[in-house]
Amino acid sequence: MKSLSQYINLYAECRRQLDLVPKPIAALRPKALDALRVFSEQTMRRAPYTEAAIDRLLEPDYGLNIQRMGFAVDLSATFRCEVPNISTLLGVTLNDTFRPTESLMRNIPEGLTVCSLTKAAAGMPSVVERYLNTLAADSTPQAALNTLLFQDGVFVYAAKGVSVERPVQLVNIFNAPVPLMAPRRLLVVAEQGASLRLLLCDHSQRNDIDYLSNEVIEVFVHRDASVEIYTIEENGASTRHITSFHCRQEEGARLTLNTNTLSTATSTATYTIDLAGTGADTRLGGMVIADAGQTVVQNVELTHSVPDCTSTQNFKFALSGKSKGAFGGKIVVKEGAVRTNAAQTNRNLIASDDARMTTAPQLEIYCDDVKCSHGATTGQLDPLALFYMRSRGIPEAEARLMLTQAFMADVVDSISYDLIRDRLRQLVERRLSGEKASCAACAAENTCHC
């Protein structure tokens, strides 16, 4: 994987500047560097589509903000939209630098910490050392590269028994005037009995400049804690996005993850989840709406490690134009994980002759007394339903829009938080009708606290 060599050389040249971070972050660099050297000598297994292969995504000569230069951003322009406002605790990652808003600083409740990862590593080093990079562990080239190069990130910590009512909204924005790669990092910890909702939004303000987001997310859900994460990706036509999501759930822990890719150039995501405590429950779902030449690849690697855990998955793709999609869903039930209840569904809608979809659901079961299922379907809009609607005077374009909305309805309806559900429903309607809308909150008080 020769594309990694340029970053290994870059680290050697800029090591002094890159290591001007707190010790819990700098201490991770040597192992990441060793891992990258190994990966650079390997021939990596190709992705379902060449456009989404990691070595292809990392090959261009993107810039890196090693000197921590500031970029101006008009938050009022970024957040102004016609979609109703959600009252959130808002933080912004501008390219690769976290900026808390005044609203966040003023309204953050007791027991919740939302701050830059460098600030947390300096002020809470033992906590950060306990969790950071213990799940990602440089297991892939993109994760190792992130560990080697990231200089900042976001730390979200809910103390024991804390229930956070307002969602925490973290918005990633690209606005650099030159091609840029942002190694973004998010560490989320919910202690015993805590509950937390996160809304993660991705936007790029320019369509004419190449951007690459290489993001690593680590989530720890402790005993009887609950974490809900909703992601909305609305990037420009020249933005590429790599996501490595890792989660560990302890006894009775609940994780809800709903991912939504509405616009992008190329997006590839891997979700690695370990149900490590008895009675843990995982609910995964998401949608992809792609057209033109967009490529979206999603992989789920979910492991049932102990007895009496449940998991459900429901992923849908709606592809048109010359877009390409791929879904890989792997459920592993380890030896001794009896009374596992796991279900996985992937349904795909192909709306043009040139769109392509690849799906590969998998089950690996190493014990008896389990209930596991998986299924995948790929097809076109029902011609009889389309004919019926047209015979009632509905134009073909509008009929197709209505049928596609109905196809996606159960993914949206599965969101338990009504404000986010209503917001996403409107975003999907606008996206399918050809409009582009920002999902971020448009509130005057959300001023960046720079």
Task: Indicate whether 398 and 426 sit together in one domain.
Answer: no
For 57, the token pair is 């995504």
Per-residue pLDDT at 75: 54
Q: Which residue bears the tokens 């509008």?
A: 398
Say if 387 falls within a structural domain.
yes
The whole-number pLDDT of residue 428 equals 84
For residue 366, tell me if it sits in a domain: no
For residue 230, what is the DSSP state? E
Q: Give the tens place of pLDDT for each residue, 150-179.
A: 999 999 999 999 999 999 999 999 988 899
**Residue range 273-331, pLDDT digits in tens:** 999 999 999 999 999 999 989 999 999 999 999 999 999 999 999 998 999 999 999 99
- If asked whether residues 402 and 266 sit together in one domain, one would say no
Q: Left, alpha or beta for 138 (phi > 0: left; psi -120 to 50: alpha)?
A: left
- Is the same domain home to 58 and 193? yes
Same structural domain, 397 and 268: no
Question: 410 and 427: one domain?
Answer: no
Structural domain for 394, as ranges: 381-416
Share of the chain above pLDDT 70, in %: 92
Q: Is residue 433 very low, low, confident or very high in pLDDT (cuts 50, 70, 90)?
A: confident
**Per the domain annotation, does 154 fall within a domain?**
yes
Residue 160 CA to residue 31 CA, distance in Å, equals 32
pLDDT in tens, 82-126: 344 568 899 999 898 998 888 888 999 999 999 999 999 999 999
Confidence (pLDDT) at 447:
41
Which tens digits make up the pLDDT trace of 206-215?
888 999 999 9
Indicate whether 360 belongs to any domain. no
pLDDT given for residue 189 in this prediction: 98
Residues 175 and 41 in one domain: yes
Flag whether 40 is in a domain.
yes
Q: Tell whether the model's pLDDT for residue 54 goes beyond 50.
A: yes
Specify whether 412 is located in the same domain as 424. Answer: no
Helix %, strand %, coil % of the chain (to 5)? 25, 40, 35
Count: domains in the chain = 2
Which one has a higher pLDDT value, 144 or 42? 144
Model pLDDT, residue 86: 65
Residues 386 and 427 in one domain: no
- Residue 304 maps to a domain: no
Query: Could you tell me if 8 and 156 lie in one domain?
Result: yes
Q: Tell me what pLDDT residue 182 has.
A: 95
Domain match, 78 and 221 both: yes
What's the mean per-residue pLDDT of the chain?
88
Residues 273 and 386 reside in one and the same domain: no
Q: Is residue 176 part of a domain?
A: yes
In a domain, residue 376? The reply is no
385 and 273 together in one domain:
no
% of the chain residues with pLDDT over 90: 64
| 63 has pLDDT over 60 | yes
